[in-house]
């Protein structure tokens, strides 16, 4: 289990990628150790608790298979989030095709299962905040998680969600308003 | 909980909570929050959300690393630093050349498939045109037609519409139709030779009727079938 989580240092990531390409196995270990916790957390926030570890692994395998396409104009972690999110959507589509989830419009977001089970709730207040997050729309919740819990910028969120910065900003503020209203009730 | 009207400050609150701001920005936003009750409340909420912990996920770093696709020895991609203006992590020349070669092979294969499709389409057009011309000229002496559909009764001659397939020797052979309808009308087969006995007026009527019928098949409910020239392979299907 990974406990520590190093920061999101683009220059360090770039250097590690270069070392990996030169045949340094330890560089890959360092990269996985740096980003796996955030990916696992993101998977859980997307409602994929049961498959989080597998998703993290698949994300790294896919990312390392396409390192040649990685553009360092975005951070490695943002790129990894983007890949993982697509994997989540693919899995939900596959599940929907098997008839386990019927609402195709909501594929990729529906039934994310973001509830108390996905969070270690320490007290009553945390429970209420968790429920407030669960009340958000799928897009609001995803943007809110990326902005608040993962500290991503609007530009990065737009890249991850394949959207625009303006849309990400609107979703964030709508989500914040909804959370406040939920807590005020 | 009310909202602060300073949108810029509100936008920076998550970054402040994440300690992702520069020293100067941290001071600036911090000073604002100190005097703004809505922002202070929002920052407290953000910190509370950040404090929510997801359940631990067991991740085996070694297992992940073991499954990672390895860079090709001798053709390792190089990370290009941002001095190339685009900051692109690019492949080296050899890998790019291999990629281009693969793309080129795919393009050749695609072009070959396209050529076959064009040739097949031309064949269908030529064969179809030829058959129509021959039917209109009324002369394919050895063409036998097998009735397998409802006759055009008002022609009086029991003319019906067949499926015809071309023989290798240039002749035509009726396509065996085992449908009940075909079996019921098996005895109604006629040859084009009989049409030579028709007067010009009768022949004109037949052709006119055929033209009307051919144009109407797509919109009218009819039990007749269009003239269909098929290849032997298709006929067997």
For A51-98, write each residue's pLDDT tens digit.
Answer: 899 999 999 999 999 988 887 778 899 999 999 999 998 988 888 787
Torsion of CA B96, B100, B105, B111, to 10 degrees: 160
Across the interface, of B11, B59, B78, the residue whose CB is closest to A36 is B59
Nearest Cα of chain B lies from the Cα of A21 at a distance, in angstroms, of 5
Nearest-angstrom CA–CA distance, B132 and B156:
23
Query: Which token pair is A40?
Result: 């696992």
Nearest-angstrom CA–CA distance, A13 and A7:
10
Q: Quote the domain boundaries for residue A95.
A: 1-105
Query: Which token pair is B64?
Result: 């992940």
pLDDT value for B100: 43
Residues A83 and A9 grouped into a single domain: yes
Size of interface A-B (CB pairs under 8 A): 146
Q: How far is CA A26 from the centre of its chain?
A: 25
Residues A97 and A121 grouped into a single domain: no
- Interface contact flag, B54 A37, Cβ < 8 Å: no
The least confident of A18-27, B60-69, B116-125 is B116-125
Highest mean pLDDT among A23-27, B112-116, B135-139, B193-197: A23-27
Query: Which token pair is A30?
Result: 């360092």
Angle at A16 between CA B17 and CA B51, to 5 degrees: 20
Span A150-156, average pLDDT: 92
Task: Using a pLDDT cut of 90, give the percent of chain A over it.
Answer: 49
Across the interface, of B42, B65, B73, the residue whose CB is closest to A29 is B65
Highest mean pLDDT among A90-104, A125-139, B104-118: A125-139
Across the interface, of B55, B61, B89, the residue whose CB is closest to A118 is B55
- DSSP letter assigned to residue B54: P
Query: Which token pair is B20?
Result: 């992702």
Complex ipTM above 0.85?
no
Residues A36 and A61 grouped into a single domain: yes
Identify all chain B residues contacting A73, using CB atoms and an 8 Å cutoff.
86-88
Helices (H), ranges, chain B: 7-17, 23-34, 37-51, 61-67, 93-137, 180-184, 200-216, 232-236
Say if residue B59's pLDDT is above 60: yes
Query: Which token pair is B136?
Result: 């209109």
CB burial class (10 A; 0-12, 13-18, 19+) of residue B117? exposed
- Interface contact flag, B54 A119, Cβ < 8 Å: yes
Across the interface, of A20, A41, A169, the residue whose CB is closest to B54 is A41
Q: For testing the chain B interface, which of A171, A176, A184 should be mutated: the one with the most B CBs within 10 Å?
A: A176
Identify all chain A residues contacting B79, using CB atoms and an 8 Å cutoff.
14, 17-18, 21, 72
Nearest-angstrom CA–CA distance, A79 and B89:
13
Domain boundary among the residues A105, A123, A143 is at A105
Cα diameter, chain A? 57
What mean pLDDT value characterizes chain B?
Answer: 61
Residues A95 and A6 grouped into a single domain: yes
Domain with residue A134: its CATH number is 1.10.10.10
Q: Do residues B145 and B191 touch, judged by C-beta distance below 8 A?
A: yes
What mean pLDDT value characterizes chain A?
Answer: 83
Say if residue B168's pLDDT is above 70: no
Say if residue A124's pLDDT is above 50: yes
Residues A30 and A121 grouped into a single domain: no
Q: Do residues A157 and A147 touch, judged by C-beta distance below 8 A?
A: yes
Q: For testing the chain A interface, which of B10, B46, B49, B91 should be mutated: the one with the most A CBs within 10 Å?
A: B49
Say if residue B172's pLDDT is above 90: no
- Give chain A's domain count: 2
């Amino acid at each position: 289990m990974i406990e520590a989580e190093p920061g999101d240092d683009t220059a360090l990531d770039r250097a590690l990628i270069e070392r990996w390409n030169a045949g340094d196995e330890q560089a890959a270990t360092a990269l996985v150790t740096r980003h796996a916790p955030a990916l696992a957390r993101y998977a859980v926030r997307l409602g994929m608790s049961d498959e989080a570890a597998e998703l993290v692994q698949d994300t790294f395998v896919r990312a390392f298979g396409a390192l040649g396409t990685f553009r360092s104009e975005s951070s490695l972690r943002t790129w990894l989030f983007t890949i993982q999110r697509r994997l989540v959507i693919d899995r939900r589509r596959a599940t929907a095709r098997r008839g386990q989830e019927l609402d195709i419009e909501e594929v990729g977001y529906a039934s994310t299962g973001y509830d108390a089970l996905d969070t270690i709730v320490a007290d009553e207040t945390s429970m209420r905040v968790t429920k407030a997050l669960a009340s958000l729309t799928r897009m609001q919740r995803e943007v809110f998680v990326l902005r608040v819990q993962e500290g991503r910028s609007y530009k990065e969120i737009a890249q991850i969600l394949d959207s625009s910065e303006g849309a990400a900003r609107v979703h964030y503020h709508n989500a914040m308003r909804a959370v406040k209203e939920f807590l005020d009730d | 909980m009310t909202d602060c009207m300073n949108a810029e400050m509100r936008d920076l609150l998550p970054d402040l909570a994440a300690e992702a701001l520069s020293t100067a920005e941290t001071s600036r936003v911090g000073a604002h929050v100190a005097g703004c009750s809505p922002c202070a409340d929002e920052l407290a909420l953000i910190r509370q959300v950040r404090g929510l912990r997801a359940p631990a996920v067991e991740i085996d770093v070694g297992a992940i690393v073991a499954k990672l696709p390895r860079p090709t020895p001798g053709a390792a991609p190089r990370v290009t630093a941002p001095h190339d203006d685009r900051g692109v992590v690019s492949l080296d020349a050899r890998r790019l050349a291999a990629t281009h070669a693969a793309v080129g092979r795919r393009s050749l294969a695609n072009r070959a498939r396209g050529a076959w499709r064009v040739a097949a389409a031309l064949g269908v057009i030529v064969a179809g045109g030829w058959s129509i011309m021959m039917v209109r000229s009324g002369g394919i002496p050895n063409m036998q037609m097998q009735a397998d559909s409802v006759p055009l009764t008002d022609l009086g001659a029991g003319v019906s519409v067949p499926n015809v397939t071309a023989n290798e020797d240039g002749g035509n052979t009726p396509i065996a139709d085992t449908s009940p309808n075909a079996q019921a009308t098996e005895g109604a087969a006629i040859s084009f030779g009989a049409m030579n006995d028709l007067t010009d007026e009768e022949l004109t009527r037949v052709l006119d009727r055929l033209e009307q019928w051919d144009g109407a098949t797509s919109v009218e409910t009819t039990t007749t079938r269009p003239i269909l020239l098929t290849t032997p392979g298709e006929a067997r299907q």
